[in-house]
């Protein structure tokens, strides 16, 4: 009965477009929530680990490299182990999103319970209790204050945008409306005076462009920025 159940599970995964069947093998660690198994890059489902360059703080106020330590902890846990990953989805970067196991134990859960990652509530609630336990026992990340990984990534993106020089924009015939394409592929136009107008850069190679009037932008398929 167990064998039949596993075969059925593999067939389910194999039938989901874009999601691989079960992946088994030795793991190579990229960071605290990303590994490679069977030549497939895998994002650990439901957990979020600090970024490689991220620093955290001890209870005494000293900085320590929690991003590198998280990756090292995962690497040590998986060393010489056969890892079995059950895919659940694929992310926008083309990585398989999966829960992985060694010796029948969830690697994802171990990372959160040990305080080397946090529960990624945006995508799953399975490990919230494990996070609470790690926080209560001040495990690793929780030994002192730290920035949630998602907030750290967001702050780095914002810093990059603020520090980026604003290049001279192409403005044929004095046209000043900026037709920008977002990361999600949405076409949005910005008019002078709007909040993000000054820092919006136009990349003609990506299909972005300048417009002479809002009506021109809308006829071309662009929508107005909300603010």
Element (H, E) at 87: strand 83-90
Percentage of the chain lying above the pLDDT 90 cut: 57
- Which tens digits make up the pLDDT trace of 163-222? 544 444 555 456 888 988 987 788 988 888 888 888 888 888 778 889 888 888 888 888
Predicted confidence (pLDDT) at residue 18 exceeds the cutoff of 80: no
pLDDT value of position 195: 82
3 state SS of 74: helix
Q: Is residue 37 predicted with pLDDT exceeding 80?
A: yes
Contacts of 102 (CB under 8 A, 6+ apart): 77, 78, 81, 82, 83, 84
Q: Does the structure show a pLDDT above 80 at 1?
A: no
- b or e along 7-26 (b: 16 or more beta carbons within 10 Å of the residue's beta carbon)? eeeeeebeeeeebbbbbeee
Predicted TM-score (pTM) of this structure:
0.64
Rounded Cα distance between 74 and 106, Å, is 12
Instruction: Tell me which of 64 and 215 has the higher pLDDT.
Output: 64
Over residues 54-69, the mean pLDDT reads: 94
15-38: average pLDDT: 85
Please, what's the b/e burial string for 191-223 (b: 16 or more CB within 10 A of its CB; e: otherwise)? eeeeeebeebebeeeeebbbbeeeebbeeeebe
- Are β-strands 118-119 and 187-190 bridged in parallel, bridged antiparallel, or unpaired? unpaired
DSSP letters, 104-156, are: TEEHHHHHHHTTSSEE-TTT--TTHHHHHHHHHTT-GGGGS----HHHHHHHH
Distance CA 207, CA 111 (A): 42
Share of the chain above pLDDT 70, in %: 84
- What pLDDT shows up at residue 20? 56
Does the pLDDT of residue 49 top 90, yes or no? yes
Cβ-proximal residues to 122 (8 Å cutoff; 6+ apart), any chain: 150
189: β partners: 179, 224
Q: Which of 86, 111, 107, 106 has its CA nearest to residue 97?
A: 86
Residue the block writes with tokens 């069977």: 38
């Amino acid at each position: 009965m167990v064998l039949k159940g596993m075969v059925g599970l593999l067939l389910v995964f194999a039938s989901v477009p874009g999601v691989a069947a079960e992946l088994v093998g030795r793991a190579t660690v990229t960071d605290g929530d990303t590994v490679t198994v069977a030549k497939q890059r895998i994002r650990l489902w439901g957990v979020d680990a600090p970024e490689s360059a991220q620093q955290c703080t001890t209870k005494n106020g000293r900085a320590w490299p929690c991003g590198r330590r998280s990756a090292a902890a995962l690497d040590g846990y998986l060393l010489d182990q056969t890892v079995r990953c059950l895919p659940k989805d694929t992310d926008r970067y083309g990585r398989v999103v999966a829960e992985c196991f060694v010796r029948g134990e969830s690697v994802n859960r171990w990372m959160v319970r040990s305080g080397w990652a946090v529960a990624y509530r945006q995508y799953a609630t399975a490990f919230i209790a494990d996070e609470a336990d790690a926080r209560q026992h001040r495990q690793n990340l929780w030994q002192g204050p730290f920035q949630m990984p998602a907030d750290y990534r967001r702050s780095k993106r914002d810093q990059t945008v603020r520090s980026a020089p604003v290049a001279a924009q192409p403005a044929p015939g004095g046209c000043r409306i900026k037709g920008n394409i977002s990361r999600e592929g949405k076409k949005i136009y910005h008019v002078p005076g709007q909040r993000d107008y000054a820092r919006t850069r136009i990349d003609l190679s990506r299909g972005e462009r300048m417009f002479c009037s809002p009506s021109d932008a809308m006829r071309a398929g662009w929508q107005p920025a909300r603010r």
